[in-house]
Amino acid sequence: MRFNLKVPFAEKDAAKALGARWDAASKLWYVEGKADMAPFAKWSPTPRDGAAPSSAAPSRAPVKAKAQSASAGIVQIGSRYVELPRVCECLPWDVCDKCRATALSA
């Protein structure tokens, strides 16, 4: 059985010396076929890390994009960015009466 590990770069040599292997495609360290997992306990990932210890590859659930109103004041960047639909045909830097409710600044 394969167990994925969360090994910091500074400790990669120690993990390798104990028998851990590097999976370049998934970019993570793993141990396979070891009966005693105690030496690797400090590198076992937590459930928040996104990779379960017994998974063959890190599985990440797709993030569902939710359109948030711009009036919430939260600016989303990166993979969570969702472009809000235009309310009117005015220029983006002009705020007309139709788009005033969704404008970031009044």
Residue that the structure tokens 């711009």 belong to: 70
Tens of pLDDT along 32-78? Answer: 888 888 888 888 876 655 544 444 445 555 555 454 444 455 666 67
Question: Confidence band (pLDDT; 50, 70, 90) for 22?
Answer: very high
Cα separations (Å) of 77 from 27, 49, 65, 92, 98?
24, 21, 12, 18, 25
Reported pTM: 0.45
Longest dimension (CA), the chain: 68
More confident residue, 93 or 32: 32
